[in-house]
């Protein structure tokens, strides 16, 4: 078994890391305070081919693998997990349009999404349906011209900021088979937004409720077939879980790198604190845990690329393990910084705050455990 990255994969990682260090890291704290990310950044990212990372080359995307994508998100999140995770959401939407959209939908929405002239948001969660996503209530009634949407989406990254919204809505009966997917453009009559959410982390991402009040959507904006929207939404989540895991991994690695530098400079009792054996043990444990998480993540990505029968289980296990490991390591790094870790200037407390939500979104880690356990029980039967 070969665990080494190819030369091309190493180049992809190095490219994304260098871009983040130049274009993201110096500004991440300011963007957090401002509560937004300048849209000029996205067009620069799009120029690198990162607006459609795993969109097929036939559709104009980069056609990279899911493993390649984890390298990109790990590298970018070393500079800012909030920015990297927002890009993950955009790419999840782009892949849905690539896989299921009509030629017309691809021409109008996917092509500008790949260049990131159009920024996409993913609208599944509602105030009353989180983990039980199939219970969503937002309804799309057929009209002479298309659909009329009514309902509310919650916790939407890019709400009031993005250029188009990939919306899961109910066109039929209760349950997953009554759900379809439509694209709603910013500026549509009947589309509005709640107030800006004041969050613990991911503060540079504008997050709002997305509200539909007799919002008219053309019939041509349907993605794929009616009644299959929930299937489309779920098919994107395996990869989304890997991306978010990679964001935890990269940010935690950055925290460890910062901590190694700090411990070599900070002195106590006449010597650098990295010379105390008890603290060296902590460093060794964190390095071991991050390497284990990295190996697990890349194995899960490989399985998803290969389409193995247990890919979903491995994506769920990796998401649970890597995000919890990332949060644990970041928190330990804050502790090793002492009081300085609690100050924004050192960048550690931001990482701790940003990573906490990774254990909740893309399916909570409790749901990840359910997926794994059910698969185990099914295999036994």
**Which positions are catalytic?**
362
In whole angstroms, give the CA distance from residue 89 to residue 204. 14
Residue with structure tokens 């019939």?
A: 219
Residue 187 token pair: 């500026």
List, in order, residues 6 or more apart from 75 with CB less than 8 Å away.
Answer: 13, 14, 15, 16, 17, 20, 250
Query: Is residue 61 helix, strand or coil?
Result: coil
* Radius of gyration of the chain from its Cα atoms, rounded to whole angstroms: 21
Residue with structure tokens 């890919």?
A: 311
Give the number of C-alpha atoms closer than 13 A to the C-alpha of residue 113, restricted to the C-beta side. Answer: 35
Residue 373 token pair: 């356990």
In whole angstroms, give the CA distance from residue 235 to residue 248. 21
The Cα-based distances of 211 to 84, 116, 121, 142, 189 in angstroms read 26, 24, 13, 18, 11
In whole angstroms, give the CA distance from residue 221 to residue 309. 32
Handedness of CA 368, 371, 374, 376 (dihedral sign): negative
In whole angstroms, give the CA distance from residue 381 to residue 379. 5
Provide φ and ψ at 146, rounded to 5°: 160, -110
In whole angstroms, give the CA distance from residue 208 to residue 211. 9
């Amino acid at each position: 078994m070969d665990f080494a990255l190819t030369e091309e994969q190493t180049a992809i990682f190095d490219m994304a890391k260098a871009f983040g260090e130049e274009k993201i890291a110096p500004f991440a704290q300011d963007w957090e305070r401002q509560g937004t990310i300048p849209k000029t950044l996205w067009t620069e990212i799009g120029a690198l081919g990162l607006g459609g990372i795993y969109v097929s080359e036939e559709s104009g995307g980069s056609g990279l693998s899911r493993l390649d994508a984890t390298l990109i998100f790990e590298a970018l999140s070393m500079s800012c997990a909030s920015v990297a995770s927002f890009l993950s959401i955009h790419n999840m939407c782009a892949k849905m349009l690539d896989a299921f959209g009509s030629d017309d939908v691809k021409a109008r929405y996917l092509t500008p999404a790949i260049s990131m002239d159009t920024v996409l948001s993913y609208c599944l969660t509602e105030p009353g349906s989180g983990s039980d996503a199939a219970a969503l209530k937002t309804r799309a009634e057929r009209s002479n011209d298309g659909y009329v949407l009514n309902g509310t989406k919650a916790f939407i990254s890019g709400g009031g900021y993005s250029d188009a919204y990939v919306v899961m809505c109910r066109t039929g009966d209760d349950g997953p088979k009554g759900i379809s997917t439509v694209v709603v453009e910013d500026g549509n009559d009947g589309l509005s937004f709640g107030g800006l959410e004041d969050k613990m982390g991911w503060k540079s991402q504008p997050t709002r409720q997305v509200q539909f009040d007799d919002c008219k959507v053309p019939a041509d904006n349907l993605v794929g077939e009616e009644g299959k929207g929930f299937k489309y939404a779920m098919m994107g989540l395996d990869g989304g879980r890997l991306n978010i895991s990679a964001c935890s991994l990269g940010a935690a690695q950055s925290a460890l790198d910062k901590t190694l530098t700090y411990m070599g400079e900070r002195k106590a009792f006449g010597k650098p604190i990295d010379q105390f054996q008890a603290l060296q043990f902590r460093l060794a444990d964190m390095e071991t845990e991050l390497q284990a998480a990295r190996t697990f993540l890349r194995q899960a990505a490989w399985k998803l690329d290969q389409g193995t029968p247990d890919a979903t289980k491995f994506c769920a296990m990796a998401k649970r393990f890597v995000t919890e490991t990332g949060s644990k390591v970041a928190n330990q790094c804050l502790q090793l910084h002492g009081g300085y870790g609690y100050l924004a200037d050192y960048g550690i407390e931001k990482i701790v705050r940003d990573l906490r939500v990774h254990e909740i979104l893309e399916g909570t880690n409790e749901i990840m455990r359910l997926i794994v356990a059910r698969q185990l029980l099914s295999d036994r039967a």
